[in-house]
Chain A
Amino acid sequence: MNDIWGAPITANLLTGFLGSGKTSLLRRLLRQPDLSDTAVMINEFGEVGLDHLLIEAVDDDIVLLDSGCVCCTIRGDLKDALLRLYGRRQRGEVPPFRRVVIETTGLADPAPIVATFAADPMLKHHFRVGNVVTVVDAECGAANLHLYDECRKQVAVADRLVVSKIDIAGPGKSARLRARLAAINPTAEIIESSEADDAAAALLTHDVHDEAKRPDEVRRWIAAERLDDDLHQHDDDQDHTHEYRHNDIGALLLSADEPLDWAAFGLWLSMLLNRHGASVLRVKGLINVVGRDAPVVVQGVQHLIHKPVHLDRWPDDLPRTRLVLIVRGLDEKLIQRSFRAFMRLEIEAAPPQELVSSA
């Protein structure tokens, strides 16, 4: 069913550190005709005026679920605001918006926001989480990434990274920041803010939920594999694995030529996320499943794995499992070894490869 009432509403997160230019980007996004049926949720009405009918304010109210799991906090205020907005839509008090953009505060951790959608049956039924867009300021971004865990986490969970204030920072500083961003999150597309006007709507509308756009989206994830070669040309003599220090975030690639048993893969990943979900910031990739010609697309944020979807064919005609994990403070060597043991894969002669690491 594709009518405007029956289709799930896509919820996008727009995040970024303090002063990175989130609201300016949001204002430009809302001018795009493709996004005219978008509702907006913001924490505070800032200095940049937003001329939009569908704006709801959200207060900070973080709720820890009974489970006591630290990463399973949800945003009670956000849940209430979303349900209120949805109720108004159902009663015809506001236009039947098809998308909601949630602009977070600069210090917000995006994970509880995503968790909010999964925790409430009503939200789970009526909404789906689309792209997470993170704005990083080219002038202060590198320093913020160095100093603030929140900033690194916002980058790690992003599907799109928008680099702002390039005119102030200059090309050299901007290029270094882009390299740093790619090291933390090689699966996210990096767009310069100046390009964002042309591509503004696509930041939100091109996502893995869109069947037509899905192959392109997935191609970008597995292209991250190339970074592996680039990085390791420089350190061939070194052991590629290491334990990320506390709060260090880096990406690693799990790969397998042999098809995987879906049940065994599900058991292993759910066991990993049950114990280490707070440290597995993102999971994205393609699984070559026994008995299936087409790849299965798996992606998630921390504990939360989206419902897997299929591609009609392998985007690069290479039927091979490739799963990128963006992790914090976990021992990559153990992850690689555990994956191979539980998937019953032959142990590789070469040391497991670290895709990217960042201090």
Chain B
Amino acid sequence: MCGLCGVFGVSEHWTDGPDASRAEAQHRVAVGNDVLAIFGLRLAEWSGRYTLTGPTGGSVVVDHFGSLWPAAERLAGRPCDPLDPNVIAAAEKRSGLR
């Protein structure tokens, strides 16, 4: 895992947002799952953190969205590249844009 990616100035991650409510946590998991499904991964809330589960059932605990992507790539066994045309096409399809 890259120890630096995305983290700056605070122990939390910049993506966390000000709302720490249960509803927001559930919303974040839902949004995460929508994107992670493209890579065959699933996210679940776990005691203020997340568990990320891969296609073969292996799972890891991640603290925040900053440490999510390096873990996701290990579990998926491939890069999670938002500039990969196939990934973009899958996102467009899920969004009903194409």
Contacting pair A306 B69 (CB below 8 A): no
Contacting pair B3 A270 (CB below 8 A): no
CB distance from B26 to the nearest CB of A (A): 11
A67 CB contacts on chain B under 8 angstroms = 1-4
| Nearest A-chain residue to B31, judged by Cβ | A263
The answer, yes or no, to whether B68 is at the interface (CB within 8 Å) is yes
| Nearest A-chain residue to B81, judged by Cβ | A275
Evaluate whether A334 and B6 lie within 8 angstroms (CB atoms) in the complex, with A266-B14, A270-B69, A275-B82 already known: no
Contacting pair A69 B14 (CB below 8 A): no
B27 CB contacts on chain A under 8 angstroms = 263
Interface string of A57-69 (1 = CB under 8 A from B): 0000000011101
CB distance from A83 to the nearest CB of B (A): 17
Question: Interface range on chain B: under 10, 10 to 19, 20 to 34, or 35 or more?
Answer: 35 or more
> Which B residues from 55 to 98 make CB contacts under 8 A with A?
65-66, 68-70, 73, 79-83, 85, 87-88, 91-92, 95, 97-98
Max chain B Cβ within 10 angstroms of own Cβ: one of A117, A304, A306 = A304
The answer, yes or no, to whether B10 is at the interface (CB within 8 Å) is yes
Contacting pair A274 B70 (CB below 8 A): yes
Interface string of B1-42 (1 = CB under 8 A from A): 111111111100111110000000001100110110000000
Contacting pair A340 B97 (CB below 8 A): yes
- What is the predominant secondary structure among interface residues of chain A facing chain B? helix
Task: Report Cα–Cα, A262/B7, bound state, in Å.
Answer: 16
Evaluate whether A66 and B5 lie within 8 angstroms (CB atoms) in the complex, with A331-B83, A346-B97 already known: no
| Nearest A-chain residue to B96, judged by Cβ | A344
Contacting pair B83 A338 (CB below 8 A): yes
Contacting pair B5 A338 (CB below 8 A): no
Task: Report Cα–Cα, A67/B6, bound state, in Å.
Answer: 14
| Nearest B-chain residue to A265, judged by Cβ | B15
Task: Report Cα–Cα, A304/B35, bound state, in Å.
Answer: 22
CB distance from A293 to the nearest CB of B (A): 14
Interface string of A293-315 (1 = CB under 8 A from B): 00000101001111110000000
> Which A residues from 284 to 337 make CB contacts under 8 A with B?
298, 300, 303-308, 330-331, 334-335, 337
Contacting pair A275 B83 (CB below 8 A): yes
- The one of B65, B73, B83 in contact with A270, judged by C-beta atoms closer than 8 angstroms, is B65
Max chain B Cβ within 10 angstroms of own Cβ: one of A115, A300, A342 = A342
Contacting pair A342 B9 (CB below 8 A): no
Contacting pair B31 A261 (CB below 8 A): yes
Contacting pair A271 B69 (CB below 8 A): yes
- The one of B4, B34, B69, B92 in contact with A119, judged by C-beta atoms closer than 8 angstroms, is B4
B6 CB contacts on chain A under 8 angstroms = 270, 273-274, 303-305
Contacting pair B4 A303 (CB below 8 A): yes
| Nearest B-chain residue to A8, judged by Cβ | B9
Contacting pair B4 A270 (CB below 8 A): no
The answer, yes or no, to whether A347 is at the interface (CB within 8 Å) is yes
Task: Report Cα–Cα, A34/B8, bound state, in Å.
Answer: 27
Task: Report Cα–Cα, A273/B70, bound state, in Å.
Answer: 11
> Which A residues from 245 to 287 make CB contacts under 8 A with B?
261-264, 266-277
B69 CB contacts on chain A under 8 angstroms = 270-271, 274-275
- The one of B4, B9, B87 in contact with A115, judged by C-beta atoms closer than 8 angstroms, is B4
Q: Give 6 CB contacts A-B under 8 Å.
A: A117-B8, A266-B17, A268-B82, A271-B81, A300-B8, A303-B2
The chain B residues found within 8 Å of chain A, CB to CB, are: 1-10, 13-17, 27-28, 31-32, 34-35, 65-66, 68-70, 73, 79-83, 85, 87-88, 91-92, 95, 97-98
